[in-house]
């Protein structure tokens, strides 16, 4: 069953390659059917995994260590359900979205192969198997992004993705090579993943003796940064928007979020170095803030969603650095399903916006409360709901300080949602606040439940980042929200324009013109009597 779960999408891709254009719109339905059957098998696989423990399909040596093969534990099952579920929906969507497009068969074939590669990452029983699957998934993603290579902006996106993936994948190969040269291949079926053995080895780097574990841990962080669009390797993600909408949604099936899974699966090695965990935290925090700020300024739907994804990936990497692995996986799965849905509905958003422009509606008017009272209610209701949840149904979350920090970040999001409701919905304040409080309780309970469910499959982080470090990005995020809700000012308008241009994708010949336009717009915003953004 495990072998079938991983192989079925690739078999459908092979059929697409062999039959080619003769399949037509049936290619998407074939790929969706294969992924859906694999999803159902993964559900069946989850039953023995949860009740009896991990299952394996491996070739082992005389000592019982895996030489090659697959295995599934609770973490693998969760990832398989995400990858296969999103893949099935996206390919079915593509059969209609790309109906009559000659590129559909090629896209579905690449999606099937990439789905199998990501499933193999989630179920690899050895480090070598994980590395091979990682490289194949990156190549498959590049093929998907090149579907509109006839457009200059798409070629820019492909080039950026190739550069970022090359840096990250090279780091992963180098890290794995260090492991292979010192201790041999690793059996990933063991929760400790050989972390203590790797840490005991020494390397000579420029005449200095360093722990092999430190070197490998830092290289793992670089690999995660490249695949999950973390600063300074973040430029590839906003440049992929020219790809068909199904590709943008498919990114969330364990591709752009693969960096988080890598750090969790190899957590005992990633955590060997305090330098590695702190670098991951800083990169994640900067990316979360950068992506969030740019998301708030983008006027195009897919542009806003892409930068939101970038910020959310930073949030995920931060969670890994804090050692909150269960919370990171919960976030990875929830965000993957949610953001894939939003990408698939991007066309509907544009359509509905045009309808609103044709049929005028009155401007929204919120409750007639003073601004101070609205802000106080927006802050207190989510805080009280989360405190009640932590004292009752989510008390298990108190066992890990990292999870508490993540719940604090979620509180900031809830404050913004409550403010928006009170600001735009008159006469129904109690309804919105009640629904928000229930959501806050459910979120905390789900984080605690994810921690309990995944605990048997997760290793420990030897050198996690102190939870106090998370106060800095939390305060920065709060400052962004306050500035966004506050009155207009010259400096805020200037920052708004710079954020609008920050993620702009243009060819080399257009860069100078883009900078000149940016300076011109900033000057206009500062001019007396001008209309501000």
44-72: string of b/e by CB count within 10 Å (b at 16+)? ebbeebeeeebbebbeeeeeebbeebbbb
pLDDT band at residue 360 using 50, 70 and 90 as cut-offs: low
In Å, what is the CA distance from 215 to each residue of 228, 281, 402, 506? 20, 17, 25, 36
Span 361-386, average pLDDT: 79
Average pLDDT over every residue of 48-77: 91
Percent of all residues in the chain with a pLDDT value above 70, rounded to a whole number: 83
φ/ψ (deg, to 5) at 67 = -95, -40
pLDDT level of residue 368 (50, 70, 90 thresholds): confident
CB 302 within 8 A of CB 346: yes
Mean pLDDT of 29-39: 95
Q: How far apart are CA 471 and CA 475, in angstroms?
A: 6
> DSSP letters along 149-200, please?
TTSHHHHHHHHHHHHHHHHHHHHHHHHHHHHHHHT---BTTSTTTTHHHHHT
Q: What percent of the chain has pLDDT over 90?
A: 39
pLDDT at 520: 47
CA distance 158 to 126: 30
Q: Residue 509: is its pLDDT beyond 60? A: no
What pLDDT band is residue 203 in, cutting at 50, 70 and 90?
confident
φ, ψ of residue 407 in degrees (nearest 5): -65, -30
| C-beta separation of 291 from 307 below 8 A | yes
Cβ burial of 487 (10 Å; 0-12, 13-18, 19+) is exposed
The confidence score (pLDDT) of residue 200 equals: 67
Is 514 or 457 the better-scoring residue by pLDDT? 457
Token match 């993603």: residue?
141
pLDDT digits (tens, 9 = 90+) for 271-287: 888 899 999 999 999 99
Q: What is the pTM of this model?
A: 0.86
Q: Return the pLDDT at 473.
A: 78
Print the SS3 string covering 289-351. HHHHHHHCCCCCHHHHHHHHHHHHHHHHHHHHHCCCHHHHHHHHHHHHHHHHHHHHCHHHHHH
For residue 523, what pLDDT is reported? 39
**Assigned token pair, 377:** 């209610």
List, in order, residues 6 or more apart from 429 with CB less than 8 Å away.
367, 377, 421, 422
Return the bridge partners of 205, or none.
208
**Among 37-41, 192-196, 238-242, 319-323, whose mean pLDDT is lowest?**
192-196
205 vs 54: CA distance, rounded Å = 39
Name the band, by pLDDT with cuts 50, 70 and 90, for residue 266: very high
Residue 506 pLDDT grade (very low, low, confident, very high; cuts 50, 70, 90): low
Q: What is the pLDDT of residue 355?
A: 65
d(CA 442, CA 446): 6
b/e per residue 130-143 (b: at least 16 CB within 10 A): bbbbbebbbbbbbb
Average pLDDT over residues 234-257: 90
Residues 160-169 pLDDT 10s: 999 999 999 9
The pLDDT, as a whole number, for residue 206 is 64
Residue partners of 400: CB distance under 8 A and separation at least 6? 323, 324, 326, 327, 451
What pLDDT was estimated at residue 492? 64
Q: Tell me: pLDDT of 503 over 80.
A: no
Q: Please name every residue paired with 60 in a beta bridge, in sequence order, or none if there are none.
A: 66
Instruction: Output the pLDDT for position 23.
Output: 83
More confident residue, 392 or 84: 84
pLDDT at 531: 33
Mean pLDDT in residue range 337-344: 92
77 or 194, which is more confident: 77
Residue 213 has pLDDT above 50, yes or no: yes
The residue among 365 and 66 whose pLDDT is bigger is 66
**Rounded average pLDDT over 185-195:** 80
* pLDDT of 265 above 80: yes
- Measure the CA angle with vertex 213, ends 207 and 215; round to 5°: 50
Higher local confidence (pLDDT), 474 or 70 = 70
Which residue from 146, 151, 157, 117 is spatially nearest to 134, judged by alpha carbons? 117
Alpha-carbon span 489 to 367, nearest angstrom = 25
Location of structure tokens 């972390």:
195
Residue 204 has pLDDT above 70, yes or no: no
For the chain, the helix, strand and coil percentages under 3-state DSSP, each to the nearest 5: 75, 5, 20
């Amino acid at each position: 069953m495990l072998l079938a779960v991983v192989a079925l999408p690739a078999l459908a891709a092979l059929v697409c390659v062999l039959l080619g254009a003769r399949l037509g719109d049936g290619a998407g339905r074939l790929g969706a059917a294969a992924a859906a059957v694999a999803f159902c098998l993964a559900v069946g696989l989850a039953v023995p995994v949860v009740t009896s423990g991990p299952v394996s399909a491996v070739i082992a040596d005389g000592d019982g260590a895996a030489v090659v093969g697959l295995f599934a534990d609770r973490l693998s099952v969760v990832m398989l359900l995400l990858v296969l579920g999103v893949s099935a929906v996206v390919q079915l969507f593509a059969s209609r979205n790309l109906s009559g497009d000659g590129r559909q068969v090629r896209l579905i074939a690449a999606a099937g192969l990439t789905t199998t590669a990501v499933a193999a990452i989630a179920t690899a029983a050895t480090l070598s198997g994980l590395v091979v699957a990682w490289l194949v998934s990156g190549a498959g993603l590049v093929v998907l992004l090149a579907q509109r290579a006839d457009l200059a902006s798409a070629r820019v996106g492909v080039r950026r993705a190739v550069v970022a993936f090359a840096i990250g994948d090279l780091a992963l190969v180098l890290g794995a090579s260090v492991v292979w040269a010192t201790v041999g291949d690793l059996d990933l079926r063991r929760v400790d993943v050989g972390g203590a053995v790797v840490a005991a080895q020494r390397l000579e780097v420029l005449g200095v003796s360093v722990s092999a574990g430190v070197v490998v841990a830092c290289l793992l962080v670089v690999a995660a940064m490249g695949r999950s669009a973390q600063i300074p390797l973040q430029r590839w993600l906003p440049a992929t928007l020219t790809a068909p909408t199904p590709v943008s949604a498919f990114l969330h099936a364990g591709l752009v979020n693969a960096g988080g899974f890598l750090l969790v699966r190899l957590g005992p090695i990633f955590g060997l170095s305090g330098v590695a965990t702190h670098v991951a935290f800083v990169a994640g925090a900067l990316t979360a803030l950068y992506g969030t700020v740019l998301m708030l300024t983008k006027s195009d739907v897919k542009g806003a969603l892409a930068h939101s994804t970038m910020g959310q990936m930073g949030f995920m990497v931060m969670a890994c650095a804090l050692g909150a692995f269960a919370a990171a996986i919960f976030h990875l799965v929830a965000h993957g399903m949610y953001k894939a849905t939003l990408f698939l509905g991007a066309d509907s958003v544009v359509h509905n916006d045009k309808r609103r422009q044709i049929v005028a509606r009155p401007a929204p008017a919120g409750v007639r409360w003073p601004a101070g009272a609205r802000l106080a209610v927006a802050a207190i209701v989510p805080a009280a709901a989360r405190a009640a949840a932590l004292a009752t149904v989510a008390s298990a979350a108190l066992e890990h300080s990292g999870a508490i920090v993540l719940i604090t970040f979620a509180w900031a999001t809830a404050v913004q949602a409550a403010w928006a409701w009170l600001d735009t919905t008159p006469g129904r304040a109690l309804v919105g606040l009640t629904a928000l409080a229930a959501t806050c309780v459910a979120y905390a309970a789900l984080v605690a439940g994810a921690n309990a469910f995944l605990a048997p499959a997760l290793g420990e982080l030897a050198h996690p980042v102190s939870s106090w470090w998370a106060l800095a990005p939390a305060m920065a995020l709060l400052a962004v929200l306050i500035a966004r809700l506050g009155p207009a000012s010259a400096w805020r308008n200037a920052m708004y324009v710079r954020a609008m241009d920050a993620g702009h994708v243009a060819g080399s010949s257009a860069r100078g013109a883009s900078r000149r336009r940016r300076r011109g717009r900033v000057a206009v915003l500062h001019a007396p009597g001008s209309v501000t953004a």
